[in-house]
Amino acid sequence: MINANNYDVIVIGGGHAGCEAAAAAARMGVRTALVSFDKSKIGAMSCNPAIGGLGKGHLVKEVDAFDGLIAKAADHAAIHYRMLNASKGAAVQGPRIQADRELFTLSIQQQLAQYETLDIIEGEAAALLFADDSDTIIEGISLADGSEIHAPHVILATGTFLGGKLFRGEERLDGGRIGEDSAHILAQQIRSAGLPMARLKTGTPPRLDGRSIDWAILDEQPSDGESWTMSDMSDRRINPEIFCAITRTNAQAHEHIRAGLDRSPLFGGDIQGEGPRYCPSIEDKIFRFADRDSHQVFLEPEGLNSHLIYPNGISTSLPTDIQLAMIQSMKGLEKAEMIVAGYAVEYDYVDPRSLNRQLAVNGFTGLYCAGQINGTTGYEEASAQGLVAGLAAACCVLGKAPAAFDRSNSYIAVMIDDLILQGVTEPYRMLTARAEYRLGLRADNAASRLTDIANILGAVRPDRLNHYQQRNAIKQNIMEGLNQLIGAEALKQFDIKADAGKMSLMDWLRFPNIPLAALTEFVPAIAEADAILVGEIEQDGRYAPYLKRQQAEIRDIAMNERLKIPSSLDYQSISGLSNEMTERLSKARPETLGAASRVRGVTPAALAAILVQAKRANEAA
Residues 296-354: tens digit of each pLDDT: 999 999 999 999 999 999 999 999 999 999 999 999 999 999 999 999 888 889 999 99
Neighbours of 167 (CB within 10 A): 22
- Structural contact between residues 9 and 397, judged by C-beta atoms closer than 8 angstroms: yes
DSSP 360: B
- Structural contact between residues 93 and 432, judged by C-beta atoms closer than 8 angstroms: no
Average pLDDT over residues 504-516: 91
Stronger pLDDT, 487 or 385, i.e. the higher one: 385
Q: What is the C-alpha separation between 572 and 561, in angstroms, rounded?
A: 22
Q: What is the pLDDT of residue 368?
A: 98
Q: What is the pLDDT of residue 490?
A: 87
Average pLDDT over residues 108-135: 94
Q: What is the pLDDT of residue 14?
A: 95
Q: What is the pLDDT of residue 269?
A: 76
Average pLDDT over residues 258-285: 82
Q: What is the pLDDT of residue 1?
A: 42
pLDDT beyond 80 at 214:
yes
Q: What is the C-alpha separation between 203 and 265, in angstroms, rounded?
A: 12
Residue 180 pLDDT level (bands cut at 50, 70, 90): low
* Sheet of 197-204, strand order: 171-174, 165-168, 343-350, 197-204
**One-letter amino acid for residue 276 of the chain:** P
SS (H, E, C) 14-66: CCHHHHHHHHHHHHCCCCEEEEECCHHHCCCCCCCCEEECCCHHHHHHHHHHC
The pTM (predicted TM-score) of the whole model is 0.90
Stronger pLDDT, 521 or 280, i.e. the higher one: 521
Mean pLDDT over each residue of the chain, to the nearest integer: 91
pLDDT beyond 90 at 32:
yes
Candidate from 138-152, 225-239, 257-271, 492-506 with smallest mean pLDDT: 492-506
Stronger pLDDT, 468 or 583, i.e. the higher one: 468
Residues 561-614: tens digit of each pLDDT: 778 899 889 999 998 788 888 988 998 899 888 888 888 878 767 887 888 888
Q: What is the pLDDT of residue 179?
A: 66
Average pLDDT over residues 183-199: 83
Average pLDDT over residues 544-572: 82
Q: Which residues contact 426 (CB under 8 A, 6 or more apart)?
A: 200, 274, 275, 276, 277
Q: What is the pLDDT of residue 557?
A: 66
Candidate from 94-108, 165-179, 400-414, 473-487 with smallest mean pLDDT: 165-179
Residues 417-447: tens digit of each pLDDT: 999 988 998 899 999 988 888 889 999 999 9
Q: What is the pLDDT of residue 2?
A: 45
